[in-house]
Amino acid sequence: MEKKIVFMVINMNIGGTEKALLNMINEMPKEQYEITILMLEKSGGFLEDIPKGVKVEYLEDYAIYKKLLNRPVKTTIVELIKQGKIVKSIALGCVQIFSKIIRNKMLYYNYILKTLPVYKNNYDVAIAYAGPMDFISYFVAKKIQAGKKIQWIHFDVTKIGFNKRLCQSLYKKFDKIYVVSNEGENKLVSKIPSIREKTEVFKNIVSRKSVLLQSNLGVGFKDEFDGIRILTVGRLSKEKGQDLAIKVLARLVKEGYNVKWYCVGDGEALEAYQKLVTQYNLENHFIFLGADPNPYPYIRRCDIYVQPSRHEGYCITLAEAKCLLKPIVSASFTGAHEQIINNETGLVVGGNIEEIYQGVKSLIINPQKRKKFSEGLNNEKALQHKEIAFN
């Protein structure tokens, strides 16, 4: 009999968490699982990549709750007063004040989400996959009926807005908590020691075969540039560190190196990064390629792959660059040393302009080092993943 499993995510934007989910689903035996993806929002470049046979559902009225959760409480109180709902405005204010006094946001969540109904379906396993995301953790813990509940942590909890007290309360409701790297697990458990026994590492799945296949499906770079192509793939945001890449490139160009730095991805920081490129006169050197669900032709044809992220959980684009045997320079974010053996299969450097610059420069001027890293990756044993079995 098929197990009914639901994965809850925000949307299917082109990103590492979403890619990891698709990779996992593709590895799961279809005859054993009836899979549902429950999304908060119907959006994302990966929507069309969801495998056939997977049910896709959307949480109705999430927009209402999103507004309540994300905007300042004072704004909601003022709006209620204008609507003549004085009692509700007073109640909301009291709940907010009391939750701050006792430093427990769960009280506030329980109040504003009290009208949110229990989800219509029952499952064998319910997974809060986009974690840590407070609303999804809350919904799976409180509003989904399932025999087993799993929380998945994809980020470094010391680098994001992690509400320790809220998560401590919510995670009591989960049977298992998976973290995507050993370092990430250690950091989570240091924050909430009480969950140590239910926490395990489950690294993101990357199919080398799939990456190689897709790398041959597209054209990749369309210019006729004959210098060194440097590539970074990721959402355009501060945590991904593309601003560091721009500043590193400015130094390389100033010193006369024949390089271009290409960036696959889109995000909220695009305009700011475009201005930074203009400020450094790099319009012909730093190229924004936009979001692409298949970045692998670019990775296959680049000379150096750089991951300048300020923080990650388990960087899936780094694992994909490894599949294509690229010489890699990575910042030393959480999980980087679990993927790269420094000076053997790539360079792991400090996450600052100077160290990233020195790492990239050393690969530009030393083709033998690039060859050494590619050969090191080729000789590396195939990644071993935890067996997928949600018992």
The average confidence (pLDDT) of the chain is 92
pLDDT of 315 over the 90 cut = yes
Q: What is the pLDDT, as a whole number, of residue 338?
A: 93
Q: Residue 71 — very low, low, confident or very high, per pLDDT cuts 50/70/90? A: confident
pLDDT of 386 over the 80 cut = no
Show the domains of the chain with their CATH numbers.
3-58+117-201 (3.40.50.2000), 64-112 (no CATH), 216-379 (3.40.50.2000)
Amino acid at 340: I
pLDDT of 388 over the 70 cut = no
Return the closest-CA partner of residue 321 out of 234, 219, 227.
234
Helix axes 242-254, 353-364, angle to 10 degrees: 50
Q: What is the pLDDT, as a whole number, of residue 30?
A: 87
On the question of a cis peptide bond just before residue 132, with omega within 30 degrees of 0, the verdict is: yes
Q: What is the pLDDT, as a whole number, of residue 69?
A: 82
Return the closest-CA partner of residue 8 out of 116, 146, 106.
146
Beta bridge partners of 330: 307, 348
Return the closest-CA partner of residue 8 out of 58, 72, 77.
58
Please state which of the ranges 32-36, 163-167, 243-247, 249-253 shows the lowest mean pLDDT: 163-167
Amino acid at 260: K
How many CA atoms lie within 13 Å of 242's alpha carbon, on the beta-carbon side?
Answer: 27
Q: What is the pLDDT, as a whole number, of residue 236?
A: 96
Residue 383 has phi, psi (to 5 degrees) of -65, 135
Contact (CB, 8 A) for 124 and 5? yes
pLDDT of 19 over the 60 cut = yes
Please state which of the ranges 107-121, 249-263, 268-282, 323-337 shows the lowest mean pLDDT: 107-121
Q: What is the pLDDT, as a whole number, of residue 88?
A: 83
Q: What is the pLDDT of residues 209-231, one digit of tens each?
A: 999 999 999 889 999 999 999 99
Q: Residue 77 — very low, low, confident or very high, per pLDDT cuts 50/70/90? A: confident
- Rounded distance, CA 333 to CA 350, Å? 9
Q: What is the pLDDT, as a whole number, of residue 390?
A: 67
pTM here is: 0.87
Residue 354 has phi, psi (to 5 degrees) of -60, -50
- Rounded distance, CA 181 to CA 201, Å? 6
Return the closest-CA partner of residue 8 out of 182, 161, 95, 125.
125
Residue 226 has phi, psi (to 5 degrees) of -115, 15
pLDDT of 200 over the 60 cut = yes
Please state which of the ranges 37-51, 54-68, 89-103, 207-221 shows the lowest mean pLDDT: 89-103
The SS3 assignment for 69 reads helix
- Rounded distance, CA 155 to CA 151, Å? 12
